[in-house]
Chain A
Amino acid sequence: MIQIENLWKRLGGLEVFKGVSFEVQKGEFLALIGMSGTGKSVLLKHIAGLMKPDRGRILVDGTDVTRASFRELEDIRSRFGFVFQNGALFDSMTVFDNVAFPLREKTRMTESKIADRVRHDLEQVGLGGAEEKYPSQLSGGMIKRAALARALVRDPEIVFFDEPTTGLDPIIAKSILRLFDSFHNRLKLTGVLVSHDIPDIFGIVQKVAMLHDGELVALEEAKNIQSCSHPVVDQFIHGRIDGPIRYR
């Protein structure tokens, strides 16, 4: 479904990707882990066609998004749900309008149908009472959940979640992960999930990839990752202070 082949990218004098390749099969969830600043968000933006690599290909269902025409990109993106790391809610709109926006602009649904759907989705992410609030009035957790509702409102097939639980309290974080799990099981979504919720995410995803120093240092079945012997992976997922990863 998603194939990344030999991706290279230089940003601000830094080689962010030095030949990254991996694949996500249809119906599969992949967790992307790695230290901050290793390029996880940048990788998601490449898959979505928001950034162009210096070298390499990214195939989504056979279409190379790095060379796709405007129309092709639009078709592919209509199947995407994307949650940005900071939510990226439109700050001039209420929560309700944010979630309704994709439906109003891209479908022919009537306003009353849209309202039903939006209320239902906001209820599902636990934002029932916050419809008329503006993003600036929301807490970090509420922003993430509103962004989640907006990403899912058009029933995407392929989803990208960039740290959906970072900065949330453990209970909300768990409830969001459970929400993913139920969506994933029910809708057979394909997706990439960037998260530091170790080991909780390992129970949700099928595969785990770790990005380090511009390369993929691990690509494992989720059930095997905890016993992965690569020293970087071992240090990272067990949170060890000593090891090959050095903090400057």
Chain B
Amino acid sequence: MVTRSIINVGSAALLGLSRVGRMGLFLGRTIACVAVPPLKVGYIVRQIHFIGWKSVFVVCLTGIFTGMVLALQGYNALKSFGSEAFLGPMVTLSLVRELGPVLSALMVTGRAGSAITAQIGIMRINEQIDAMELLGLNPLRYLAVPNFVAALIAFPLLAWIFDAIGVFGGYVVGVKLLGVASGTFLGEITEHLRMRDLWGGAVKSLSFGAIMSWVCCYKGYFSAHGAEGVSAATTQAVVTASVLILVWDYLLTAVLF
């Protein structure tokens, strides 16, 4: 009985370990393909369009409401200390350091990440990936690398869009609705926002882009036999990528700020 459960725990641990190893290997091979030319520029441009451009609308939408609600909540909290003047920096720093990178990454993972997994998974079960290998081509170059590079480019830009729209939303609520002076709101922002906040946010976004494309491509690439295989892979990809993004965000925040 005891030995049985020890064996079970042990084999589960080994399975988990080999999975982590396989995921790591996948990432390593993808990065190696980025480093060694040729890069498939056409494919990268297409994925930037898909991951980046097509996410602009949903990022703007979530950005503006996030900024607005931050201003609303922040105003009430700050008011009890009599420091409404700091509403601008509070909204801006929350967005730039934290919510911009994280929320835009989660939105894009839900929107584009699931589609990436499904698309690659279908190519796996329809044997299109096998067909590529038989043509003597490295499928990662055509499937993983374009998503990886495109996500690295798109994620920081989307986060900055999120930040800007969010600050605008906060401004509208804080200044127009709650009556904070416009000069105070904006002036305090320029006073408190540092370059390193912007770069810190960008570092976060870059790593979130890497996580999203890595996990979503991996799950699609190794999706199992049949339509159920692809749908399971898609769900797992979104959940895994989202959780990893949040965990990694905590670690980065502890180091960066």
Contact = CB atoms under 8 A, between A and B. Distances in A.
B61 interface: no
Interface string A66-103: 00000000100110101010101111000000000110
A114 to B, nearest CB: 14
A78 B130 CA distance: 14
Interface residues of A, number: 18
Nearest to B133: A50
B126 interface: yes
B135 A84 contact: no
B25 interface: no
A19 to B, nearest CB: 25
B79 to A, nearest CB: 55
Contacts of B136: 74, 77-78, 106
A91 B128 contact: yes
Interface string B124-145: 0011101111111100000000
Given A74-B136, A105-B137, A82 B128 contact: no
Nearest to B125: A86
A84 B137 contact: no
A80 B133 CA distance: 11
Interface residues of B, number: 13
Contacts of A77: 133-136
A45 B127 CA distance: 11
B135 A106 contact: yes
A82 B131 contact: yes
A150 to B, nearest CB: 8
A101 B123 CA distance: 16
A88 B131 contact: yes
Contacts of A102: 135
A89 B123 CA distance: 9
A47 to B, nearest CB: 11
Contacts of A45: 130
A88 B127 contact: yes
Interface of A: 45, 48, 50, 74, 77-78, 80, 82, 84, 86, 88-91, 101-102, 105-106
Interface of B: 122-123, 126-128, 130-137
Given A82-B131, A91-B126, 9 more contacts: A48-B130, A50-B134, A77-B133, A82-B134, A84-B131, A88-B131, A89-B128, A91-B123, A106-B136
